[in-house]
Amino acid sequence: MKIAVAGYGNLGKAAVRAVLNSEADELVGVFSRRSAETLGAGENIRVFPFETIALFAEEIDVVLNCTGSAHDLPETTPFIASYFNVVDSFDTHAKIPEHFQSVNKAAVMSGKTAVISVGWDPGLFSLARIYMESVMPSCRTYTFWGRGVSQGHADAIRSIDGVLFAREYTIPAEEAKESLRKGRLLNLPQEKLHRRVCYVVEKDGADREKIREEIINMPEYFKGYETEVNFISLDDFLLEHKSMAHAGNVIALRKGDAGTDRLEFLLSSPSNPQITAGILLAYGKACVRMNRKNEFGCKTVFDVRPVDLFCGAKGKETELL
Amino acid sequence: MKIAVAGYGNLGKAAVRAVLNSEADELVGVFSRRSAETLGAGENIRVFPFETIALFAEEIDVVLNCTGSAHDLPETTPFIASYFNVVDSFDTHAKIPEHFQSVNKAAVMSGKTAVISVGWDPGLFSLARIYMESVMPSCRTYTFWGRGVSQGHADAIRSIDGVLFAREYTIPAEEAKESLRKGRLLNLPQEKLHRRVCYVVEKDGADREKIREEIINMPEYFKGYETEVNFISLDDFLLEHKSMAHAGNVIALRKGDAGTDRLEFLLSSPSNPQITAGILLAYGKACVRMNRKNEFGCKTVFDVRPVDLFCGAKGKETELL
């Protein structure tokens, strides 16, 4: 398939790698608001201005939209869906219904297919949750994130006055996880299943105690969590906090007549962008297959049949049964 | 929904419990070749002769077909599909395409929907494999079964001359599993990932050494595996080998540019029939939803959208994203 990548941040770069590593697919190019020179994408990768994407109608089967999540996707995905099949990794949970509506409107009008909120959470973890809740309707599902970096939490810290750089590690409560694995149901809110460790580089003369207070009391992001704030030098920040590793688990327990059933899904990756890009590419190709069957409009991972996601030869999926 | 259960072995009993435990569903009754008196299903459960099932056309939304796998399902599922939506747990891997064809023919003719080979493997583990292979196309997938009882292997032992009762425990190689969890790819065939421990009650005067030889050399079932055969008394057999617990893992590793990604799906249940019945019920209800959308014919778990499997209120699935 002919695949374009929009945006060239960490995820966009990983998406380009994923397409180049896939023998069955061809990279049309990268569409970015930045100039080819600034991007440094390498000589063999064509870079085009984002605004010109509509001119490539005949040349693109699907666009992997890797423009920044919190701000850009609500505009860029509906725009792209007006011309192309598209996937994104929109992850602002509360705004998914709204995003769905605007992407759906665009995709229905253009006769294209979009899948939004693709990645590992939302994405693979959402799938784990829906399958577990479906086959064990009375179960309780627990989601653990980490140990890994949360870009959203780092962004939230950076928005505080006096902060230059920030990094946040989400760390799951291993004891809670082990209790669940022994079949013991827990009555703990999500905040008690994780703690948050932050590394902050402050601006010259900034008030550390004030920054710390603002962080630990920030609603939704930190309030209620056990939060550790460390102030470090810029040198240490650049040296010691480069890892993009992430991990997580979804664990479901169901007390049945014969005892407690447990299902668990687990992910571990040295590179959050690498694993997310692979998932985006797979769902991008699913978009194209669904579009060819006239399944237009906006979808989530819940609407995609596993058979439409599978990239192997037709009929080969029977071997995986 | 109005649900009927065909067959009343371990799985049929668990399916009846699953339907009775589900507030949204109604148990029409059990259809069995055995008489109501022999079944001992309890007073509040209606039992009908299997052959009369066609007379209940107006009263049943879907049939959970729990008649014995190896021999009965190839006949009973197409028969039931001629009249009703139906799910089964057909697990003879090599014969799935053939079974699919005959069920599909019946279901297309009757305008009904069938899902075959539902359970945990084939079933949830098949889903784990197809999702993992889709989002990480160059990965290697490893399936571990156990520790748990394999009914198929016990049946195979029982077919040997001189054997009265038999039990087989499939035991996964924990060291191999741990190696994978550390990201080390293994180059071992499936047989080296498991060992098999058998408990046999022999008939009076049977030749133990001959039975042992026949077991460990049985192709497909035991040959190539590390196999331990223990001869025990009938009393010990009945006393110590009642557990129906089972477990298993699907582990996928993919060497990417940034390091090795790992996805794992894990199941652990004190009762194989209990967890399998829950999966059957969920896919049974999915059959009904797909049938209402005119999606007729035979399907596997790969053809069912997660949204059609979900039993919660419409729109509630967004919370699981």
- A190 neighbors A143 (Cβ within 8 angstroms): yes
CB nearest B302 (choices: A134, A270, A307) = A307
Q: Which of A131, A182, A249, A303 is the best mutation test for B, with the most CBs of B within 10 A?
A: A131
pLDDT of residue B21: 95
Chain A / chain B CB contacts < 8 angstroms:
204
Q: Are B62 and B284 in contact (CB under 8 A)?
A: yes
How much is the pLDDT for B69?
66
pLDDT of A268: 97
- State the Cα–Cα distance between residues A266 and A142, nearest whole angstrom: 12
> Residue for token digits 């949970």?
A93
Say if residue A71's pLDDT is above 90. no
For B45, phi then psi, to 5°, come to -110, 120
pLDDT reported for residue A98: 96
C-alpha A194, offset from chain centre: 19
Residue B263's CB is within 10 A of a number of other CB atoms, namely 25
Contact state of B269 with A257 under an 8 Å Cβ cutoff: no
* pLDDT single digits (tens) A307-320: 999 987 777 888 99
Cβ within 8 Å, pair A318-B138: no
Contacts of B269 in chain A (CB under 8 A): 259, 261-262
State the DSSP H helix or E strand holding residue B135, giving kind and residue range, or none if neither.
helix B124-135
- pTM for the model: 0.95
Q: What is the pLDDT of residues A223-249, one digit of tens each?
A: 999 999 999 999 999 999 989 999 999
Nearest CB to A129; choose among B267, B275, B320: B320
Residue A93's pLDDT band, with cuts at 50, 70 and 90, is confident
Query: Rounded to a whole number, what is the distance in Å from the CA of A35 to chain B's nearest CA?
Result: 26
pLDDT reported for residue A150: 86
- Whether residue A263 and residue B303 make contact (CB cut-off 8 A), yes or no, is no
Q: Which of A312-316, B153-157, B164-168 has the highest mean pLDDT?
A: B164-168
Mean pLDDT in residue range A75-82: 98
Are B269 and A259 inside 8 Å of each other by CB?
A: yes
DSSP secondary structure letter of residue A87: E
Phi and psi angles of residue B228, each rounded to the nearest 5 degrees, phi first: -110, 130
Considering only CB atoms, A279 lies closest to which of B135, B262, B266, namely B135
ipTM: 0.95
> H helices then E strands: how many in chain A?
11, 14
pLDDT at residue number A145: 95
pLDDT recorded at residue A69: 66
Cross-chain Cβ contact B307/A303 below 8 Å:
yes
| Of residues B14, B133, B305, nearest to A302 (C-beta) | B305
Nearest-CA distance B47 → chain A (Å) = 22
- Residue B186 has a pLDDT of 92
Give the pLDDT of residue A37: 86
**Lowest pLDDT segment from A144-158, A240-254, B100-114:** A144-158
Position B220 confidence tier, pLDDT thresholds 50, 70, 90: confident
pLDDT tens by residue, B46-94: 999 999 999 998 899 999 999 976 689 999 999 999 999 999 999 888 8
State yes or no: pLDDT of B277 exceeds 80.
yes
Residue with tokens 């009754």: B29
Note the pLDDT tens digit of each residue in A163-206: 999 999 999 999 999 999 999 999 988 889 999 999 999 999 99
pLDDT digits (tens, 9 = 90+) for A262-292: 999 999 999 999 999 999 999 999 999 999 9
List of residues 6+ apart from A84 with CB closer than 8 A: A4, A53, A57, A60, A62, A63, A112
Report the pLDDT value the prediction gives residue B315, as an integer from 0 to 100: 79
DSSP-assigned beta bridge partners for residue A271: A244
pLDDT for the residue A46: 96
State residue A112's pLDDT score: 98
Nearest to B270 among A124, A260, A317 (CB): A260
Burial category of B111 from C-beta neighbours within 10 Å (exposed 0-12, middle 13-18, buried 19 and up): exposed
Interchain pair B320, A279: CB under 8 A: no
Asked whether the predicted pLDDT for residue B282 surpasses 90, the reply is: yes
Please provide the average confidence, as pLDDT, over all residues in chain A.
94
Rounded Cα–Cα distance for residues B110 and B19 (Å): 25
Residue B30: strand pairing partners: B5, B47
